[in-house]
Structure 1
Amino acid sequence: MNFLKSIGWETHLKPFLYKKLPQKTGWSAVLGTLCAVAFIIMTITGMILAFYYVPSPDKAWDSVQFITNEVPFGSLVRGLHHWGAGTMVLLVFCHLMINYLNGSFMAPRQITWVTGAFLFFVVLGLGFTGYLLPWDMKAYWATIVGANIPNSYPGIGNFITRFILGGDGMSGFTLSRFYAVHTLILPACLLIFMAMHIYLIRVHNLSDPRERVAGEKLPEETGKPYRFFPEHMNRSSIAMAILLVGLFSLAYFVPVHMEDKAGTFIADYLPRPEWYYMWLFQLLTYFSGTWDMIGSLVIPIGGALLVLFVPFISESRMKGIINRPISLAIGTTFIVCVTFLTVMAYQEAKPYNKTIVIPSGTLTTEQKAGLKIFVERECAYCHNILGKGGHRTGPDLSNVVRKHRTAKYLANYIEKPTSVFPSSTMPAYALKPEELNNLAAFILSLDFKKNGQPIEVSTEELRKSWK
């Protein structure tokens, strides 16, 4: 009895465990518990991985290989961490979306919603920072593309990119910075917001499904109570068992693929992020030039602010999915759009259509030589011309003439991109001066008003004609 008193059983723990919840609480309420369980799994597996991981460009990739192939159960632990990350993003998103559709963010639970939204953003941040740590090609290039998204922001864009990367480009500073943020700063933020979230839930309780209008007086519940323990924990235990079986199955039967070490040159390599960021990468392809900021700033940042301030801008007092048709329409539209963008992103992640657009007019000897270099170096993999050809990870080269670029400017940019644009993600090409001039001449020939109508030709056919 003295022991129970010393741990505050009667005053703190017992009221916490046996707290009454609304009797009509649905199964969706277990999502909050599953989010906490996923975080615990990520913490345990992350600590095990940290025992063996070396956060340096020279050792990171090798240390992950060692974990996967040499450490007992290392592949399983890494798989749990990998699949757990994506699962945690999905669980927090579903938890947030269901509460939005039900109107559970209304008074007095506005700050509960805000802390939940911050938890979602922190989880996304953990996914982004953890993505780089294996230091393979996929992680390296996807991080470069992601870190360069703020470049289109006026005034502070370049500063933000340099701050993220720890300098002008990817380096050991980038890796150590991401490692520190991933293992120290963001987990601390997650713990703080999680503690606040749980505290506010204990203060205001779960939203009662019987409510049709926020704040309405409800009759006292009768019959068997529904408590956090044992009733809610019984449900949560079933959901936890399903979650654990699913994660262990994925970790065992679908081991995490490791790509080549960062820095390996692959001409037609396509940077791509994890599935929960694919929609954003696809969104960016629809905005270029002066419209870049719409896809990189206005939509994502504006959307995040809307999520945060939903409780303060929503005028409806109705609760429950059935009673909130507008919210249901907005939520459904959002899910459909994100799903569509994600599917489109995976479609475009397939091998690209190897064609190139050139002017119908006769090219000079210098321009023909530049065209050959353009094809052999797989420039069309990143760059398109008039929206056709490769993936849109690089700018459309048909815009170069309109920007009044000179051959010297283009040659310097191709030879060493970061000397012209410090945050460029384009790799440097070791070409001879004559080759640089020829390639620049071909790019400048893409003036379709001057050199003839655009025609689309197969790069394979061009290669055959050069043999």
Structure 2
Amino acid sequence: NFANLWVAAAVAILLLSAVTFAPHWFADSLREGGNPSSNPAGVVGPWQMMFYQEALSFLSLASPFWFLTGLVIVKLLILLLPYYDRNPERNLLLRPLSLVIGSGLLVLILYFTFLGMAGAHYGARAVLAIRPAPALEIRGSQVYLEKNCAFCHQVFGKEGRREGPDMAVVLQRGRSAEWVQRFIMNARLYQPGTTMPKYDLPLEDLEALRVYLMSLDPTKRKFGIVDRSVLLEYGSFGVWGDEKK
């Protein structure tokens, strides 16, 4: 009967809320919890799950709490749909409320799926000074590609994902060389809760990556797009595409 339906809905809501919030409340202090909203390794999932990863990454950037709250609200809208949409019509076109909610979810799924498919090419190219580019900068750009930094960052608004800040801000904010290296090693010392992982790099690679990041000054040099395979294999430019003045 109607009362039993409300009890079943309440139990389902409690279970979904527990599944949503429990991993955040009861984290193992000895391990770093798996976070599907962060993908520093650049692992590309199957196309049918791309919307899930992209939605988590995109929507959880501003506030994880409000994202989780919004997720629970969406679940409630779906679970309680039979209660607040009592239109007896079987034709979906004659049920505007259900049509709007269903269409909205479908549009979001398609949008984040296409966004994820576009993101499968992150890290295929890198931004590098055309000339001159010292060997240390070239090595730093190689480390940048090897560690898949483009899956979270862009350079001059290009060749990467907009999850983290644009790498050009490193120089613009006047960071010291020591600060940049420490941040790369453990960003959570400066920004608790950040999704950026720790990087245990050899000192030479750490310094090279720091030099590369601090060389991104478009006011002094021209920058171009470098193919990943060419840069990693030959350590040379192979620049093609548009230049950044």
TM-score band (shorter)? 0.5 to 0.7
Q: Distance in 2 between matches of 1:371 and 1:337?
A: 37
Q: Work out the number of aligned pairs and report it.
A: 227
Q: Distance in 2 between matches of 1:459 and 1:447?
A: 21
Task: Pick the structure with greater CA Rg.
Answer: 1
Q: Distance in 2 between matches of 1:329 and 1:390?
A: 36
Paired position in structure 1 for 2:51: 279
Distance 1:373 1:305, change over 3 A: closer
Matched letter for residue 70 of structure 2: G
Q: Distance in 1 between matches of 2:44 and 2:15?
A: 24
Paired position in structure 1 for 2:239: none
Q: Distance in 2 between matches of 1:316 and 1:372?
A: 56
Q: Distance in 2 between matches of 1:307 and 1:377?
A: 36
Q: Which of 230, 233, 240 does residue 461 from structure 1 map onto?
A: 230
Q: Distance in 2 between matches of 1:164 and 1:270?
A: 26
The percent identity for this pair of structures is 17
- Where structure 1 has 5 or more consecutive residues not aligned to the other structure, the ranges are 1-20, 22-106, 130-146, 148-159, 176-266
1:8-67: CA deviation from partner (whole Å, max 9, x where unpaired): xxxxxxxxxxxxx9xxxxxxxxxxxxxxxxxxxxxxxxxxxxxxxxxxxxxxxxxxxxxx
1:217-240: CA deviation from partner (whole Å, max 9, x where unpaired): xxxxxxxxxxxxxxxxxxxxxxxx
1:347-378: CA deviation from partner (whole Å, max 9, x where unpaired): 25746451012345644554344234334555
Question: Following superposition of structure 1 onto structure 2, how do residues 441-452 of structure 1 map, counting pairs within 5 Å?
Answer: 441-448=211-218, 450-452=219-221
Paired position in structure 1 for 2:69: 301
Partner of 2:62, secondary structure, is: helix
1:429 aligns with 2:196: no
Distance 1:309 1:329, change over 3 A: closer
Q: Which of 14, 29, 36 does residue 167 from structure 1 map onto?
A: 29
- Where structure 2 has 5 or more consecutive residues not aligned to the other structure, the ranges are 35-39, 237-245
More helix by share: 1
1:395-434: CA deviation from partner (whole Å, max 9, x where unpaired): 54234344443321110122344444454442422321x5
Q: Distance in 1 between matches of 2:157 and 2:30?
A: 29
Q: Distance in 2 between matches of 1:443 and 1:326?
A: 52
Question: Following superposition of structure 1 onto structure 2, how do residues 292-371 of structure 1 map, counting pairs within 5 Å?
Answer: 292-293=61-62, 296-298=64-66, 300-305=68-73, 307-308=75-76, 318-322=87-91, 325-341=95-111, 343-344=113-114, 347-348=117-118, 350=120, 352=122, 354-360=124-130, 362-364=132-134, 366-371=136-141
Partner of 2:181, secondary structure, is: helix
Q: Cα RMSD over matched residues?
A: 4.5
Q: Provide TM-score, normalisation by structure 2.
A: 0.64
Q: Provide TM-score, normalisation by structure 1.
A: 0.38
- 2:139–2:235 CA contact under 8 A, matched in 1: no
- 2:48–2:113 CA contact under 8 A, matched in 1: no
- 1:283–1:341 CA contact under 8 A, matched in 2: no
Distance 1:306 1:458, change over 3 A: closer
Partner of 1:111, secondary structure, is: helix
Question: Following superposition of structure 1 onto structure 2, how do residues 20-99 of structure 1 map, counting pairs within 5 Å?
Answer: none
Q: Distance in 2 between matches of 1:168 and 1:341?
A: 37
Paired position in structure 2 for 1:42: none
